[in-house]
């Protein structure tokens, strides 16, 4: 692969990946504005989040074959989705939200799998840097939303994302070229062992990404109701959560020089459980913000550490699309659960109890995954992700 060079392609992949992080993370800060514009209850807001994140999960399933073409199609489709939001009527809101999510999810997953396929010699380092870039985009997204909400409106946010997506599609069309992959046979990926292997990790990532995007999606609304903050400040508070992701993912390679991946994963989940509990118990702005930052710091390395164990034993890069699909589906389901519980109980605080309960289940699952046995290094981002995956988004 000489023309264009691998370095040139990375120069395009990083901004494209950051863009998917922005597209995934702006939903939470914009949720109060969208709810007001389209007269949505908490349950309907949860359904809107479900539509976007279910779309992101579904976008992961199409990622098989030529990842460069999928990335191009995802960026182009995301342009159309962003252009549609400011002009649609309510009956079209949920279908468009699904389309927008599927576009971002396809592009997000395509970048991860393209790098995993084409940068074998330095795959861990390459994907770790991409992971950091995605988190940077997810941090910038709420800051962009907060700024544009202060000087313009929520429509301006989607207009900016549409322009960025169009530029991304043009850059991808002229630079990104994919190669073929030779499958490998491993002891862990045959027969019933392979089924159990995929199901356990898929379930774990369902919970993990679901918690990420539940937090990122509902924090702005929660802070508005729990404190006297303005909409702009509440939207900016979501950036603190993604900023925690950014910081921890940047520091994770250094921490792994002294701590084993298994112990780091276990410790991160326990800290996240404590932060989620503090978030529910707090009623003042300062401890709320501290809990948000701590939760972001703790959750940041969880997905890449666990997914490193999966990829270390996977037969084919595209096999991970099933795990990414279920992780993205978690990003769709758990925010919906929060909205439904909030609507029936009359309290968003009660709905957010879903977070510590889910984290407790994840801690209990660690022995079943056997992640302490072999984890090479953190390699892939959340939904946001993807699906993410971020959201996580979800990714």
Q: Above 70 in pLDDT, residue 129?
A: yes
Confidence of residue 384 (pLDDT cuts 50, 70, 90): very low
Residue at token pair 């990926």: 189
Give mean pLDDT, residues 211-237: 78
Confidence of residue 239 (pLDDT cuts 50, 70, 90): confident
Highest mean pLDDT among 4-13, 253-262, 264-273, 285-294: 264-273
- What are the pLDDT digits (tens) for 337-382? 898 898 888 888 899 899 999 999 999 998 887 765 544 444 444 4
Decide if 333 contacts 56 (C-beta within 8 A).
no
Of 90-99, 169-178, 224-233, which gets the smallest average pLDDT?
224-233
Q: Above 50 in pLDDT, residue 55?
A: yes
Confidence of residue 13 (pLDDT cuts 50, 70, 90): very high
Distance CA(297)–CA(317), nearest Å, equals 28
- Residue 363 in any domain: the answer is yes
Q: Where are the beta strands (DSSP E) in 325-383?
A: none
Confidence of residue 328 (pLDDT cuts 50, 70, 90): confident
Give mean pLDDT, residues 33-54: 89
Q: Above 70 in pLDDT, residue 187?
A: no
First to last CA, the chain: 30
- Residue 394 in any domain: the answer is no
Res 75: pLDDT? 96
CATH code for position 28:
1.20.1250.20
- Residue 374 in any domain: the answer is no
Confidence of residue 15 (pLDDT cuts 50, 70, 90): very high
Question: In this prediction, what percent of the chain has a pLDDT beyond 90?
Answer: 28
Give 212's contacts (C-beta < 8 A, 6+ positions apart): 299, 303, 331, 382, 383, 384, 388, 389, 390, 391, 392, 393, 394, 395
- Residue 118 in any domain: the answer is yes
Q: Above 50 in pLDDT, residue 93?
A: yes
Res 302: pLDDT? 87
- Residue 184 in any domain: the answer is yes
Number of structural domains in the chain: 1
Confidence of residue 9 (pLDDT cuts 50, 70, 90): confident
Give mean pLDDT, residues 263-277: 92
Of 20-34, 85-99, 214-228, 333-347, which gets the smallest average pLDDT?
214-228
Per the model's pLDDT, the better-predicted residue between 65 and 384 turns out to be: 65
Res 184: pLDDT? 53
65: left (phi over 0), alpha (psi -120 to 50) or beta: left
Q: Above 90 in pLDDT, residue 298?
A: yes
Domain range for 165 is 6-369
Give mean pLDDT, residues 249-265: 82
Distance CA(123)–CA(214), nearest Å, equals 30
- Residue 217 in any domain: the answer is yes
Res 120: pLDDT? 67
Confidence of residue 193 (pLDDT cuts 50, 70, 90): low
Give mean pLDDT, residues 15-22: 94
- Residue 117 in any domain: the answer is yes
Between helix 231-255 and helix 261-281 the angle, nearest 10°, is: 160
Cis check: omega of the bond before 111, within 30 degrees of 0? no
Burial classification of residue 312, based on how many CB atoms lie within 10 Å of its CB (0-12 exposed, 13-18 middle, 19 or more buried): middle
**What global pTM score does this model have?**
0.71
Question: In the predicted model, what is the mean pLDDT of the chain?
Answer: 81
Confidence of residue 74 (pLDDT cuts 50, 70, 90): very high
- Residue 382 in any domain: the answer is no
Res 385: pLDDT? 40
């Amino acid at each position: 692969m000489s023309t264009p060079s691998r370095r040139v392609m990375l120069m395009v992949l990083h901004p494209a990946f950051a863009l998917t992080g922005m597209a995934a993370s702006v939903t939470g800060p914009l949720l109060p504005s969208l709810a007001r514009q389209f007269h949505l209850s908490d349950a309907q807001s949860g359904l809107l989040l479900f539509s976007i994140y279910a779309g992101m999960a579904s976008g992961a399933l199409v990622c098989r074959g030529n990842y460069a073409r999928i990335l191009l199609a995802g960026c182009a489709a995301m342009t159309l989705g962003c252009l549609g939001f400011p002009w649609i009527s309510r009956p079209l809101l949920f279908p468009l939200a699904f389309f927008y999510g599927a576009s971002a999810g396809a592009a997000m997953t395509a970048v991860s799998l393209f790098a995993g396929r084409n940068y074998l010699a330095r795959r861990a380092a390459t994907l770790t840097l991409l992971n950091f870039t995605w988190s940077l985009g997810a941090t910038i997204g709420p800051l962009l939303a907060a700024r544009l909400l202060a000087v313009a409106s929520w429509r301006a946010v989607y207009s900016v994302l549409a322009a960025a997506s169009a530029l991304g599609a043009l850059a991808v069309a002229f630079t990104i070229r994919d190669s073929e992959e030779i499958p490998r046979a491993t002891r862990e990926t045959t027969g019933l062992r392979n089924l159990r292997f995929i199901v356990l990790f898929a379930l774990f990532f369902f919970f993990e990404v679901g918690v990420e995007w539940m937090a990122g999606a509902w924090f702005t609304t929660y802070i508005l109701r729990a404190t006297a903050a303005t909409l702009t400040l509440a939207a900016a508070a979501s950036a603190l959560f993604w900023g925690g992701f950014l910081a921890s993912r940047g520091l994770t390679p250094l921490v792994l020089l002294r701590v084993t991946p298994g112990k780091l994963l276990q410790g991160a989940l326990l800290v996240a459980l404590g932060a989620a509990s503090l978030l529910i118990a707090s009623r003042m702005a300062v401890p709320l913000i501290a809990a948000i930052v701590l939760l972001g710091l703790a959750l940041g390395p969880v997905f890449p550490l666990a997914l490193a164990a999966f990829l270390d034993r996977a037969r084919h890069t595209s096999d991970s699309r099933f795990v990414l699909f279920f992780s993205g589906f978690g990003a769709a389901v758990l925010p919906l659960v929060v909205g439904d519980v909030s609507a029936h109980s009359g309290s968003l605080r009660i709905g957010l109890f879903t977070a510590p309960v889910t984290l407790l289940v994840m801690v209990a699952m660690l022995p079943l995954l056997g992640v302490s046995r072999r984890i090479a290094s953190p390699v892939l981002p959340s939904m946001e992700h993807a699906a993410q995956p971020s959201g996580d988004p979800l990714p």
